[in-house]
Amino acid sequence: MDIQDIKNRFGIIGGSPLLNRAIDIARQVSPTDMSVLITGESGSGKEVFSHIIHQMSARKHGAFIAVNCGAIPEGTIDSELFGHEKGSFTGAHEARKGYFEVANGGTIFLDEVAELPLGTQARLLRILESGEYLRVGSSKVQKTDVRIIAATNVDVYNRVKSGKFREDLYYRLNTVPLRIPALHERKEDIYLLFRKFSADFSDKYRSPGIQLEPDAIQILSNYSWPGNVRQLKNIAEQICVLEKDRNVTAAALLNYIPNESASNLPMAISGSKEDFSERDILYKVLFDMKKDMMELKKLVAEIIQSGGNTAHIIEDNPHYINQLYQEIDQPSGGELSAFTIKKPIQNNPVDYNYTHEAEEIEESLSLVDKESDLIKKALKKHKGKRKFAAQELGISERTLYRKIKELNL
């Protein structure tokens, strides 16, 4: 059976070289019993290829069971896959066959295999190596003859490196890798798929056919389609049902396609999130405060050097001056253009031509020094009465005595 015959049999639309290559790999591996790992984005049609491999194999008359590993709770997935004995856990009122027992002689398709717990991965590895498994709550070894086809939309090798997926299982499953191209990688197929879907839905809902204007076809082909074939099919169905004008323009099509500029905003991604301790956060706040203090000291030094005239300083630092101006509750009325600090009236003349550079004093960030200062202030406030000083600090007298001894206060 050639590639076009496979497309006709399984309803595959498109002539992309990447798609043809994937179909050719599936055709070649089908007669064997080798494990296949199908990778591709969500909605790209991975399950269709699992059916191709099963239907073109010697197991086509056996059972085919598709299991979504990400949809089964971790506490019950072993029971679902391998079965359990009566009374093996709460609610196990009778013995139950698992999928591997039911599909004996056939094929199991494990979708989202990367979501399997590590314990279940070990059980699956044993089946791949020897065909043996144990029911939950049983010590009797069972045998099964099942071909395993796995699929995932994540990079499994990255999970292997992070310790979330067994390396030995990865290489057992990945005997034959099969990658399904995303829809944006087969732009020449997008319009063909839309025409097929819109014709099917027009027949289903007994509505006139849909025609796309050239500008609408261009938008359809250039869209990134994050949901792949599944998303394209949903949009074709919406247009067939909702659009009154059967000649769809670009403006009408945009009402159904999500705005990419709004949907691709930066967001936190699982795995790249930084974990900060309270101590790290405290240090960051202290360093930011120190930076602000240094900038303020330099600004005051420049004001002193200029004799109180700050017009040129404002021109150099408009944003910073405006921020300070607003923070001292000055009336807001647009951008601050200039203000003057007047010299104070004093009996003795003051020399405002101060030429020395501002001295930067390094502030201690030692937690021990901060702790010592707080204890000294509390003792001074309560005139050496340790009981009240301890209450002020929120610690016990015994702890305060110990701290005083440790810090030599």
As a residue count, the chain comes to 409
Asked if pLDDT for residue 304 goes beyond 90, the answer is: no
**What pLDDT does residue 282 have?**
66
Give the residue among 206, 57, 35 at the shortest CA–CA distance from 131. 35
Whole-number Å distance between alpha carbons of 193 and 207: 19
Q: CA dist 72 to 113, 115, 148, 303, Å?
A: 11, 10, 18, 69
Would you state the structure tokens that stand for residue 364, as one six-digit string?
A: 């201690």
Asked if pLDDT for residue 388 goes beyond 80, the answer is: yes
- Where are any strands of DSSP class E within 167-276? 176-179, 211-212, 247-248
pLDDT tens per residue, range 15-25: 999 999 999 99
Whole-number Å distance between alpha carbons of 132 and 142: 6
* End-to-end Cα distance, the chain: 91
pLDDT tens per residue, range 339-352: 444 444 444 444 44
Asked if pLDDT for residue 111 goes beyond 50, the answer is: yes
**What pLDDT does residue 60 have?**
94
Which residues touch 295 (CB under 8 Å, ≥6 apart)?
320
Tell me how crowded residue 277 is: count the other CB atoms within 10 A of its CB.
Answer: 8
**What pLDDT does residue 345 have?**
42
Whole-number Å distance between alpha carbons of 325 and 298: 17
Asked if pLDDT for residue 320 goes beyond 60, the answer is: no
Q: CA dist 192 to 104, 232, 248, 382, Å?
A: 39, 11, 16, 85
Whole-number Å distance between alpha carbons of 400 and 385: 11
* Angle, helices 386-393/367-381, rounded to nearest 10 degrees: 130
CB 396 within 8 A of CB 389: no
Which residues touch 400 (CB under 8 Å, ≥6 apart)?
375, 386, 389, 390, 393
Q: What is the mean pLDDT of residues 360-376?
A: 69
Would you state the structure tokens that stand for residue 341, as one six-digit string?
A: 């600090």
Whole-number Å distance between alpha carbons of 364 and 366: 6
Asked if pLDDT for residue 327 goes beyond 50, the answer is: no
Give the residue among 83, 173, 96 at the shortest CA–CA distance from 133. 83
**What pLDDT does residue 312 have?**
57
Whole-number Å distance between alpha carbons of 106 and 2: 24
CATH number of 3-181: 3.40.50.300
Q: What is the mean pLDDT of residues 187-198?
A: 94
Whole-number Å distance between alpha carbons of 129 and 123: 10
**What pLDDT does residue 49 have?**
96
Asked if pLDDT for residue 13 goes beyond 60, the answer is: yes
Whole-number Å distance between alpha carbons of 113 and 162: 16
Whole-number Å distance between alpha carbons of 314 and 352: 19
pLDDT grade, residue 281 (50/70/90)?
A: low
Would you state the structure tokens that stand for residue 163, as one six-digit string?
A: 């310790």
CATH number of 367-407: 1.10.10
Looking at every residue in the chain, the average pLDDT score rounds to 81
pLDDT tens per residue, range 209-247: 999 999 999 999 999 999 999 999 999 999 999 998 889
Lowest-confidence region among 98-107, 298-307, 336-345, 393-402: 336-345
Q: Nearest 5 degrees, angle CA 199-CA 43-CA 63? A: 95
Whole-number Å distance between alpha carbons of 395 and 392: 8
pLDDT grade, residue 371 (50/70/90)?
A: confident
Delimit the domains of the chain by residue range.
3-181, 185-261, 278-362, 367-407
CATH 1.10.8.60 assigned to 185-261? yes
Would you state the structure tokens that stand for residue 331, as one six-digit string?
A: 């009336």
Q: CA dist 338 to 163, 334, 335, Å?
A: 61, 12, 9
Whole-number Å distance between alpha carbons of 66 and 150: 10
C-alpha 369, offset from chain centre: 42
Whole-number Å distance between alpha carbons of 362 and 370: 14
Tell me how crowded residue 298 is: count the other CB atoms within 10 A of its CB.
Answer: 14
pLDDT tens per residue, range 31-40: 999 999 999 9
